[in-house]
Amino acid sequence: MVISGKVKGLVFNIQRFSIHDGPGIRTTVFFKGCPLRCLWCANPESINPFPEIMFNEAKCIKCYKCINVCPFRAIIQHFDKVIINREICDGCGECMNVCYSGALNLCGKYMSLEEVLNEVRRDIPFYQASNGGVTASGGEPLMQHEFVKELFKIAYEEGISTALETSGHAPWKALSSVLKHTDLILYDLKAVDSKVHEEMTGVTNKLILENLKRASLEAIPIIIRIPIIMGYNIATEEDIHKIGSFLSKLKGIERVDLLPYHKFGEIKYRFLGREYKVKAKPLNKEFISNLKGIIESYGYKTSIGGLS
């Protein structure tokens, strides 16, 4: 997005000392906005491409200061409760500024390249000691590909290794422009069956699979990340066979990570006034080991949990 003539990125978190988003110690920049609607999304605050207010009712001390400052009258008191009308809230953050208990938090901040880079540069010694670097994640970072492209270009020039975590659901032009300065791709793959993919994520996987095929010819290592949501994207071992078979035709896949379902993101749905609908079956250790064995049978190094 261009603000006052400058390209700005909408970022909802910058996580330092991350060890799950590529090799070594990394700084992960989480971009807000995603074209997918995965039913199990663990970062629901990442989906909408605009700032949003999150309300943790348990922290509210009922001072009602927020009601008076809201320029849009989006907050009302109902008995002793604070209610936010998200239809008219514009994410200005005024209410957060007077909420001293920390019940209100604005998720999503427009940042300049220099601001993001300054955060990333803080840990250069750790990247050097651990083979780490910066990871662009989300949401879907390719929704802000112009910003990510510039971020990676400068990081590259400064000797900071770069990793892109993507769903691959973006025009090839956007993806390829970022890949010019990318050292590693973390490619999320939910299902190769298009119907299943569409039911679970709201979009077909046509673009995702095509982009993966094209990216695999770019001589950049790729780690495939497969969420395992039993009864949703994975119902039987056959579903993993389909993924293994698809991958076996590609080059450049360094490893496959199986990511077992967890409910850590559930509480955030409440903070956003949304409903968490997933009722996935608990993962059986033996079943996930079988899935790992199946991917390995297609010749891939496979991990459970994606620790690198």
| Choice between 102 and 305, CB closer to ligand SF4 | 102
What's the closest the beta carbon of residue 106 comes to ligand SF4, in angstroms? Answer: 6
CA 84/CA 81 separation, integer angstroms: 10
Taking a C-beta distance cutoff of 8 angstroms, is the pair 203, 170 a contact?
no
Closest CB to ligand SF4 among 232 and 271?
271
Q: Site mask, ligand SF4, residues 100-119, x = CB under 6 A?
A: -x-xx---------------
HSE toward the beta carbon, residue 93, CA cutoff 13 A:
9
d(CA 147, CA 273): 30
CB of 44 to ligand SF4, least distance (A): 17
- Toward ligand SF4, which CB reaches closer, 15 or 56? 56
Using alpha carbons, select from 135, 110, 134 the residue that is nearest to residue 32.
110
Smallest distance, Å, CB 84 to ligand SF4?
Answer: 5
Does 272 interact with ligand SF4 (rule: CB under 6 A)?
A: no
Shortest gap between Cβ of 58 and ligand SF4 (angstroms)?
10
54 touches 70 (CB < 8 A):
no
What element of type H or E holds 8?
A: strand 6-18
The size of the interface with ligand SF4 (CB under 6 A), counted in residues, is 26
Both tokens assigned to 136: 């662009």
Count of Cβ atoms closer than 10 Å to residue 283 Cβ? 18
CB nearer ligand SF4, residue 83 or residue 304: 83
CA 43/CA 266 separation, integer angstroms:
9
- Give the residue with the Cβ less far from ligand SF4, 7 or 98: 98
Tell me how far, at minimum, the Cβ of 271 lies from ligand SF4, in Å.
12
Is 70 or 185 the residue whose CB approaches ligand SF4 more closely?
A: 70
Instruction: Report the residue number, 54 or 243, with the smaller CB distance to ligand SF4.
Output: 54
CB of 97 vs ligand SF4, minimal distance in Å: 8
CB of 267 to ligand SF4, least distance (A): 16
135/85 Cα distance (integer angstroms): 34
Per DSSP bridges, beta strands 302-304 and 253-260 are parallel
- Near ligand SF4 in 44-103, by CB under 6 A: 53, 60-66, 70, 72, 74-75, 82, 84, 89-95, 98-99, 101, 103
Phi/psi of residue 193, nearest 5 degrees: -75, 120
Helical packing angle, 172-179 and 145-157, nearest 10°: 10
Contact pattern for ligand SF4 over residues 4 through 43, marking x by CB under 6 A? ----------------------------------------
Q: Are 148 and 187 in contact (CB under 8 A)?
A: no
* Closest distance to ligand SF4 from the beta carbon of 290 (Å): 47
> What is the SS3 assignment for 62-78?
CCCHHHHHCCCCCEEEE
Which residues contact ligand SF4 (rule: CB under 6 A)? 53, 60-66, 70, 72, 74-75, 82, 84, 89-95, 98-99, 101, 103-104
